[in-house]
Chain A
Amino acid sequence: MDKDKENCHGLLGDLSDYLEGEADDAVCAEIERHLESCEDCRIVVDTLRKTVYLYRQLPEPELPGEVRERLYKTLNLRP
């Protein structure tokens, strides 16, 4: 990231579309070319992907039984 800061900054700005597969071919090619030569940006992209992956795997918080019961009560309904 030190050698070519301007390039790195530009690349990081385009990452959202790239990670979602929405960046056009020219942008993808440019990003991938840069990643081959810039270890720091390669690490940022890889750990960014992994970050999103870990959150997608995270289980939904559980709805406690007593919270569900109180919800029904508040709404004057029966489960």
Chain B
Amino acid sequence: MTRVENSTGNNDRDLIERLQAGDKQACADCIERYSPRIYGLALRLMKNEADAEDVLQETFLSAFKAIDSFEGRSNLGTWLYRIAYNTAMMRLRRTSPPILSVDEKMAEAEQGYSLPQQLFDWCCLPEREFATEEVREELERALGTLSPALRSAFVLREMEGLSTKETAGVLDISPSAVKKRLQRARMDLREELSTYFAGHYGNGNGQG
């Protein structure tokens, strides 16, 4: 069960019918149900609050305008994620330096990954070491080092809880391409976190 399915179930069908009938309360219901997750995705893709807010607004403006064309092949949440993702990518393409475009990074994302360099074993540190604000900030920082192609696949699949097939639908790529991006994203994040934990707990560098 994805986060999207968890909270919607069969209620989406009724909501979609009301949205397509132009019911303003349905728009408010849709916002209440989905805006936190759309904002979360937008913030993690854009990496700043102002751009995330723009993506959030554009997503709902576009969605309500296009709701008549929604045929229900995906669920409403996945459809909204797709609009948000496309809106964010359009903005990133506009602002990305032309030397290494977002699209070139997309292609690169599905190529192999480099062999692990950091082999500090931090997996069995006491749980309390992970439950700190500093570690949460480090997780967000590490996520921000990934290219948008890797970040979007990882956020949708691992953090928003979409299936591989749903993630492929949002990103408009094949399930096998999703798996390649995920593999690389996980390996890159592991490398970042290992460097962080080695710096804090490794021999000779540690605080503890």
Contact = CB atoms under 8 A, between A and B. Distances in A.
A79 B53 CA distance: 17
B70 interface: no
Interface string B25-58: 0011001000111011001100001000100110
Nearest to B57: A74
A64 B24 CA distance: 22
Interface residues of B, number: 46
B179 to A, nearest CB: 5
Contacts of A40: 116, 119
Contacts of A71: 31, 35, 53, 56-57, 60
**Chain B contact residues, majority secondary structure:** helix
B193 A47 contact: yes
**Chain A contact residues, majority secondary structure:** helix
B107 interface: no
B182 A16 contact: yes
A72 B28 contact: yes
Interface stretch (B6-14, B74-82, B88-96, B183-191): B183-191
Interface of B: 24, 27-28, 31, 35-37, 39-40, 43-44, 49, 53, 56-57, 60-61, 64, 112-113, 115-116, 119-124, 130, 135-136, 139-140, 143, 154, 158-159, 179, 182-183, 186-187, 189-190, 193-194
Given A13-B183, A60-B40, A71-B31, 7 more contacts: A12-B187, A47-B122, A48-B186, A48-B190, A67-B53, A68-B35, A77-B31
